[in-house]
Amino acid sequence: MGGFDCKPVSGELTYGLERLAMYIQNKDSIFDLAYNNATADRPAITYGDVFRENERQMSTYHFEVADTDMLFDAFKKATAECENCLERSLPIPAYEQAIKASHIFNILQARGVISVQERASYMGRVRDLAKGSCQAWMEKNGWTA
Amino acid sequence: MTDFLLELRSEEIPARMQVKAKEDLARLFNDALAKAGLAAASVETFATPRRLALIATGLPLATDAVSEETKGPKVGAPPQAMEGFLRKAGLTQDQLIERDGVYFAVVEKAGRQTADVLAEAIPAIIRAFPWPKSQRWGAGSASTESLRWVRPLQGIVAILGDDVVPCEIEGIISGTATMGHRFHHSGPVTIGNAGDYAEKLRDAHVLVHFSERCALIRDGAKAAAAAAGLTLVADEGLVVENAGLTEWPVPMLGRFELAFLEVPQEVIQLTARVNQKYFVCHDSAGKLANAFVCTANIDAHDGGAAIVAGNEKVLAARLSDAKFFWEQDLKVALDDQATKLAQITFHEKLGSVADKVERVAKLARWLVEEGIVGSCSPAQAGAQPANNDSSDKVLDPGLRRGTQELADQAERAARLCKADLVTGMVGEFPELQGLMGGYYARAQGEADAVADAVRDHYKPVGQGDDVPTAPVTVAVSLADKLDTLAQFFAAGMPPTGSKDPFALRRAAIGFLSLLLQNDLRCSLKDMLLATGAATTFDSLEEFLVDRLKVQQREAGVRHDLIDAVFSLGGEDDLVRLLARVNALQAYITTAEGANLLAAYKRAANILKAADGVDAAAPAPADLVAEERALLTALDTAAPNAAAAVDAEDFEGAMAALASLRAPIDAFFDGVMVNDEDPAKRAFRLGLLARFRDAVHRVADFSRIEG
């Protein structure tokens, strides 16, 4: 994690539940997934009934609306705040700012305003913040790599 | 003599690592044997997703006993020397052997059992294995010192002859049991020896030979397509990849909806190949068919119907995304897409992508208007100097109109060429940049030359890629690369060492290929000035000449000869530079050329040692014949060489140099340069200086090696 070996090794499962459910329920569209156990007196509710509006609004926002100037600015500020926390040996809030920067980068990506040449540099910056947070955590605990 | 089997079984090894892993296993094994003084008659390696294996034949059962002799001090050497030697050898003086007045230590090393050598070597090979990526796992991972392997290592089979080679690494103990196919075979498979390994596993639905799986996939995919009346689009990369994903490969044909064929076929092919590892097929008319061939890792009960259905579903989801992007993108004019480039930063020091597009458009137009790029290049039209400010006056009106149209098209194509970067399709499939722009440009009615230029302006991507020849494409492609190179160098970001984050080396190779292949004549300086980047460009010119050396190495052009011509200065038309270098190389590799080079080096050495040389030193009254002959030859050769170079007759220039060879040889044979008479010496040194200068009309021979 952050370039350091963990002991023991940690892991995560990254299967999308929706994708798995589509196979289990044999549905071609995520919005057709059954969301409940429909019966005669309990009407069927689909995944679409619950989430389609959310999906629509979030898509419109991320692809068309999000203010890129504000986001570029927010990315810079999150980066600076992360470094500020690291200077004061506060790895936990530093890591929160790193995650925030990462999220803002994702939105900028979705808005399509980061060129191929720039993409690597942004990802490098986020990685450095995460690594710095991990490094600070190691130091705080007196651990060596 | 006996045989040895080693199998290292793990969770699934990524397909792309298996071929290299086979090579590494053979190398590490052979090294371990060699260190112990052993060698196998043959070593064969195997790889499947779940195992890496090796069979060595013809191994001796034990290593030979060897006696190692170490030379020690002389008899009568100081006692300190003797003590030191005895300590190092671990012997006492009476155990040494004396021969010819020198002591020798002889250590007898008994032979070792091959099984013992192997038992030591196996864990060492596992620990030293150079996987590109490795991991730790399980309880052992509580320590960062734990074993690393590409995926969790699960078992070791190690059998010499018919006996287990006992070894252990991190709780995994060697034995005779392995596992068969993950679904076709349950329970362990017991291997008897190296001889029955492949067959026992075949019975357990595992084909250990990589090449056998490749052949099955290659032939099976072809047959599956043929059975549907289609032709498989052969793809050896996919064959190898699928062989690395399966232990029991079964190719089968699936279909997708006809409507997806509306999407450009490259998109379908890319999705199928890169994301899904599927082959695609052509119909009898040679067009892409609505079918694919996937490779299952199982003989399914239902003949594969469920597997095919599952794969069809995955591909359909991907293709419907692609179709959505295609339809959405077609609704927006490329000109409108291009306006969005103003919001994309090209590089924080170099402005937006729209800024870059503006620069490239100007440069592309300039390249055409200057006659550097055209339907009829100046070189073909009879070697017009590229830098002719009055070139407009000599063009006939028809040709000028043609140039204007070409310039308009180049500018137009340049303005559209990056617009596809903001389309949905390229956002999803970045590999399709350029190609999609070409489709969208054609769909909105752009001229073919413009659409082609948008499509191909990234080419050539590295050495070996197709080099564009269509004038509009050449202009845009050249301008794009030139701008990138000039801007990054001007901003102080050249590649350093192994770091080339902006792929400037690739841009340089592309730039050079475009120039040379299309015979584009222009001064490099003029082109760099036209980019408008604010810098002196010395380092960029050097960088480009360095790249030229790398690029030309394959064609057998000597780098020292490129230096010899370039270092003269003033030659920055790279097409002409290369023509000069080629003529020079043809001459310098003849016996006569080698002689002239030797004479040049001799002259250069004498001149270097001399105190002051005046090329115009007056001739004394009594010239000897050799001096007179050289003087006469120089009077003709020097102007001839210069004139030939100016006329781009480089063979002629070489011939002019060749005429100096006999006189300079005779001069060295018959004349003493450093004569006692200062006037004679000064004149002779002057002659040599003139000889050197004449040679320098063609190339700086001091740069030539050998």
Rounded mean pLDDT of B630-649?
A: 92
Q: Is there a contact between A28 and B313 if contact means CB atoms under 8 Å apart?
A: yes
Question: What is the pLDDT, as a whole number, of residue B145?
Answer: 82
- Res B401 pLDDT > 80: no
Q: Which of B135, B143, B427 sits opposite A112 (nearest CB)?
A: B427
Alpha-carbon distance B282 to nearest alpha carbon in chain A (angstroms): 27
**Whole-angstrom Cα distance, residue B272 to residue B318?**
9
Query: Which range among A26-35, B89-98, B126-135, B185-194 shows the weakest confidence by mean pLDDT?
Result: B89-98
What angle is formed at CA B61 by the lines to CA B55 and CA B63, rounded to 5 degrees?
110
**Higher-confidence residue: B19 or A144?**
B19
Rounded mean pLDDT of B35-64?
A: 95
What SS3 state is found at B538?
helix
* pLDDT range class, residue B267, cuts 50, 70, 90: very high
**Whole-angstrom Cα distance, residue B474 to residue B469?**
6
Which distant-in-sequence residues (6+ apart) come within 8 Å of B314 by Cβ? B276
Q: What is the pTM of this model?
A: 0.75
Q: What is the pLDDT of residues B515-538, one digit of tens each?
A: 999 999 988 889 998 998 877 778
- Res B388 pLDDT > 50: no
Question: What is the pLDDT, as a whole number, of residue B344?
Answer: 87
Cβ pair B219, B211 in contact under 8 A: no
Rounded mean pLDDT of B423-427?
A: 90
- Res B383 pLDDT > 50: no
Q: Is there a contact between A120 and B501 if contact means CB atoms under 8 Å apart?
A: yes
Alpha-carbon distance B424 to nearest alpha carbon in chain A (angstroms): 9
**Higher-confidence residue: A93 or A116?**
A93
Rounded mean pLDDT of B164-182?
A: 96
ipTM: 0.78
Cβ pair B493, B543 in contact under 8 A: no
Q: Which of B141, B345, B346 sits opposite A7 (nearest CB)?
A: B141
Question: What is the pLDDT, as a whole number, of residue B385?
Answer: 42
Question: What is the pLDDT, as a whole number, of residue B390?
Answer: 44
Residues of chain B contacting A120 with CB distance shorter than 8 Å: 501
A1 touches chain B (CB under 8 A): no
Q: Which of B144, B430, B501 sits opposite A5 (nearest CB)?
A: B144
Question: What is the pLDDT, as a whole number, of residue B83?
Answer: 87
**Whole-angstrom Cα distance, residue B114 to residue B110?**
12
Rounded mean pLDDT of B104-133?
A: 92
Name the token pair of A31.
């919005």
A9 touches chain B (CB under 8 A): yes
A21 touches chain B (CB under 8 A): no
Mutation site for A-interface testing, chosen from B324, B341, B345, B421 by largest number of A Cβ within 10 Å: B345
Q: What is the pLDDT of residues B643-689, one digit of tens each?
A: 998 999 998 999 899 999 999 999 999 888 888 888 888 999 999 99
What SS3 state is found at B508?
helix
Question: What is the pLDDT, as a whole number, of residue B616?
Answer: 83
- Res B381 pLDDT > 70: no
Q: What is the mean pLDDT of chain B?
A: 91
Alpha-carbon distance A83 to nearest alpha carbon in chain B (angstroms): 21
Which residue of chain B comes nearest to A118, CA vs CA? B347
- Res A4 pLDDT > 90: no
Residues of chain B contacting A23 with CB distance shorter than 8 Å: 310
Chain B residues 348-387 with CB within 8 Å of chain A: 348, 353
What SS3 state is found at A17?
helix
Question: What is the pLDDT, as a whole number, of residue B51?
Answer: 97
Residues of chain A contacting B430 with CB distance shorter than 8 Å: 116
Which residue of chain A comes nearest to B314, CA vs CA? A28
- Res B463 pLDDT > 60: yes
C-alpha distances (whole Å) from B404 to each of B336, B386, B389, B688 are: 25, 18, 16, 53
**Whole-angstrom Cα distance, residue B375 to residue B402?**
8
Which residue of chain B comes nearest to A145, CA vs CA? B144
Q: Is there a contact between B347 and A115 if contact means CB atoms under 8 Å apart?
A: yes
Q: Is there a contact between B502 and A117 if contact means CB atoms under 8 Å apart?
A: yes
Rounded mean pLDDT of B375-389?
A: 44
- Res B143 pLDDT > 90: no
Number of other CB atoms surrounding residue A40 within 10 Å = 5
Q: What is the pLDDT of residues B565-597, one digit of tens each?
A: 988 887 889 999 999 999 999 999 998 899 899
- Res B389 pLDDT > 80: no
Query: Which range among B15-24, B195-204, B606-615 shows the weakest confidence by mean pLDDT?
Result: B606-615
Q: Is there a contact between B343 and A113 if contact means CB atoms under 8 Å apart?
A: yes
Share of chain A above pLDDT 90, in %: 69
Per-position DSSP letters for B555-617, written without gaps between them: TT--HHHHHHHHTTSS---HHHHHHHHHHHHHHHTSHHHHHHHHHHHHHHHHHHHSS---TTP
A114 touches chain B (CB under 8 A): yes
Alpha-carbon distance A30 to nearest alpha carbon in chain B (angstroms): 11
A8 touches chain B (CB under 8 A): yes
* pLDDT range class, residue B386, cuts 50, 70, 90: very low
- Res B387 pLDDT > 70: no
Question: What is the pLDDT, as a whole number, of residue B88?
Answer: 83
Residues of chain B contacting A112 with CB distance shorter than 8 Å: 340, 344, 422, 427
Residues of chain A contacting B311 with CB distance shorter than 8 Å: none
Question: What is the pLDDT, as a whole number, of residue A67?
Answer: 96
Number of other CB atoms surrounding residue B163 within 10 Å = 12
Q: What is the pLDDT of residues B464-476, one digit of tens each?
A: 789 999 999 999 9
Q: Is there a contact between B502 and A118 if contact means CB atoms under 8 Å apart?
A: no
Nearest to B424 by CA among B315, B353, B322, B275: B322
Residues of chain B contacting A5 with CB distance shorter than 8 Å: 136, 144
Cβ pair B109, B64 in contact under 8 A: no
Question: What is the pLDDT, as a whole number, of residue B391?
Answer: 45
Q: What is the pLDDT of residues B294-347, one digit of tens each?
A: 999 999 999 999 999 999 988 998 999 999 999 999 999 999 999 999 988 888
C-alpha distances (whole Å) from B212 to each of B128, B243, B317, B512 are: 29, 9, 33, 43
A26 Ramachandran zone, left/alpha/beta (phi>0; psi -120 to 50): left
Q: Is there a contact between A9 and B137 if contact means CB atoms under 8 Å apart?
A: yes
* CA trace torsion B629, B631, B632, B636 (10° rounding): 130
Q: Is there a contact between B141 and A9 if contact means CB atoms under 8 Å apart?
A: yes
